[in-house]
Amino acid sequence: MSAVRRAVPVVAAALLLGSAGQADAAGYRYWSFWERTGDHWAYATQGPSATRPDDGAVEGFRFAVSADSADASRPRGAADFDAICSGTAGKPGTKRVAVVLDFGTRADAPSGEAPPERRTACARVASDATSADALAAVAEPLRYDTNALLCAIAGYPVKGCGEQVSAEEAGAAKDAADGARNDAGAAENDAGAAKKTGSDSGPSLGLPIGAGAVALLAAAAAWQARRRRDAAG
């Protein structure tokens, strides 16, 4: 049986693992599957073997430590179909699917492994292909366990499959994910501010720097005045 046929919904990973683990599990380390709608990622309601994306779809896979789908970390970075598939021409009888592969942070990685850099790829597959077909076209080798659960994409991680992690590991992964979300939010805010001012060259630094300089001067003046009063006394 081929890897594509053996693929089961990644979205079911948490359910499969949850039924086998303890009720108070801190989290699990696994690949999650996402679909891009407009400017936002949505956790897929079906797995890649059951999803048949349209031409122009953007799909993402994220490796992370998560307790469940509500806690799962989204793929990071830009995810624009035109940018990802600009170099892949369409052909009759095929469709193009933009695939985002986010291998997670070091806190998400199994012991002794380092996550590869995030990357994107454009899969040109048959018009009736599934998301699993698209993934297999751009991210081999894939690895599955005996229950056909997707364990590795592009050979990562080398071993392990949806294993339960300690509360300490889950906490570290959550902190790393929160930091990434904050960075992404700040970048989006900066981009929005640039659009409002009609500039795309980045956030203006003039006001923060000016305000900081004024604050430093005021503090220095207060310190000098305090020294004079102490000397006079």
What was the pLDDT predicted at 173?
A: 59
What was the pLDDT predicted at 201?
A: 31
What was the pLDDT predicted at 122?
A: 98
Q: What is the pTM of this model?
A: 0.68
- The structural domains of the chain, with segments of one domain joined by +, span 3-183
What was the pLDDT predicted at 143?
A: 96
pLDDT digits (tens, 9 = 90+) for 24-38: 557 999 999 999 999
Strands 143-144 and 28-37: unpaired
Mean predicted lDDT score pLDDT of the chain: 75
What was the pLDDT predicted at 230?
A: 52
Q: Is the predicted pLDDT of residue 68 greater than 90, yes or no?
A: no
CA-to-CA separations, 140 to 143, 156, 180, in angstroms, rounded: 9, 10, 27
What was the pLDDT predicted at 163?
A: 92
Cα(17)–Cα(33) distance, integer angstroms = 16
What was the pLDDT predicted at 94?
A: 98
Q: Is the predicted pLDDT of residue 117 greater than 70, yes or no?
A: yes
**Minimum mean pLDDT range among 111-115, 173-177, 200-204:** 200-204
What was the pLDDT predicted at 69?
A: 77
What's the average model confidence in pLDDT over 172-183? 56
Q: Is the predicted pLDDT of residue 91 greater than 80, yes or no?
A: yes
Q: Is the predicted pLDDT of residue 73 greater than 60, yes or no?
A: yes
**Minimum mean pLDDT range among 105-109, 120-124, 200-204:** 200-204
Q: Is the model more confident about 161 or about 169?
A: 161
183, burial (CB in 10 Å: exposed 0-12, middle 13-18, buried 19+): exposed
